[in-house]
Amino acid sequence: MTNSIPAVLVLENGEFYHGFAFGDTSVESTGEVVFNTAMSGYEEVLTDPSYKGQMVVFTYPMIGNYGITEQDGESSNIHLEGIVVKEYSKSYSNWRAVKSLDTFLKEHKKIGIEGIDTRKLVRSVRSAGTLRGIITTSQKEIETLTSIVKNLPSMEGQNLSTEVSRTSIEKHQPKGNIHHRVALIDFGLKNAILDNLLKRNCEVIIVPGSITIEELLQLPIDGVFISNGPGDPASMKTEILLIQNIIEKLPVPIYGICLGHQLLGLAFGASTYKLKYGHHGVNHPIKNLLKQTIEITSQNHGFAVTTETLPVEIEQTHINLNDGTLAGLQHRTKPIASVQYHPESSPGPHDSWYFFDQFVEELEKKREKK
């Protein structure tokens, strides 16, 4: 092992895994334990706001070998609570890297644990479902730590978007001419979503998730894009009402990704439910029912929209081929659509970039009708 400070991961079902700590070894981390199957992209995972409240188990056996860059982060902070790996690579090699993963974790006061049998741990989570856990270097008894974990709040009922959303409006200009102006609602926004809109010559006005419909109506926008984010979508009553008001009062294209997809479903009267262990990785097959094609996608969500509760005006457009869950929807007559995966990838395949092109096409149609 590259470190000598003993640490332990304890789960709510009483299982425990001894290992060694890295990162900020003085902190104690708690949260929902999920696993990510990506073979690369740990920097993007660490900085993805959707992981707020969760500890991530990386199934790839070695993490940290290409360090941390200044370009690849999805936000300016580490949002997850801690990481679990089989082996942390103390040395790294990458011409763009500016620091080690260990240093990055220390800067953000986050802990990691290595030397864990991650295959066994993932099999446990797959069998039992998502479990709460704690990573600590303390010498407390396992029974004491298990009791602490059992008293942690469940992810269900938590609105975590308020902890990661921006609190003020930001304007971002594309490098080329401005073709459209888009309000991007930040519920836990990934930078790659912003980048994809800018590349398509959109001026992007990022607005906080707490914005009111009155404030939004004052903005000169041609469309609305609803971001990803963490937590339980059903707990976001104010945000659901906001989206219902947008649908009613703003006759513009409205698109959503991940949490944005779930909130659109809820705004139309559908329901959501918690998945057994969620979808976290870059290798999930999706069937596009409209084009009859298959996409390999990047995913990160723990909740899904219940297909059977979709109202008649909403049709299913995509399906997850691993478990049959709803992966996309659209309004039958209005330019409103969403997907339950990450078309911006980062990390992951680029099969679904067309989702942003489709949004811009709807903006063009709207402009032509004026």
Q: In sequence order, which residues have a C-beta less than 8 Å from that of residue 246 and are 6 or more positions away?
A: 213, 216, 224, 254
In contact, 261 and 267? CB cutoff 8 Å: no
Residue numbers annotated as active site: 258, 342, 344
Q: What are phi and psi of 344, to 5 degrees?
A: -75, -10
In contact, 51 and 83? CB cutoff 8 Å: no
Conformational region of residue 156, where left means phi above 0, alpha means psi within -120 to 50, and beta covers everything else: beta
E strand intervals along 168-265 = 170-172, 180-186, 202-208, 223-226, 254-257
Q: In sequence order, which residues have a C-beta less than 8 Å from that of residue 218 and are 6 or more positions away?
A: none
Separation of alpha carbons 345 and 42, rounded Å: 13
Residue type, 345: S
Is residue 180 exposed (0-12), middle (13-18) or buried (19+ Cβ within 10 Å)?
A: buried
Separation of alpha carbons 34 and 66, rounded Å: 23
Write the DSSP string, 9-38. EEETTS-EEEEEEEE-TT--EEEEEEEE--
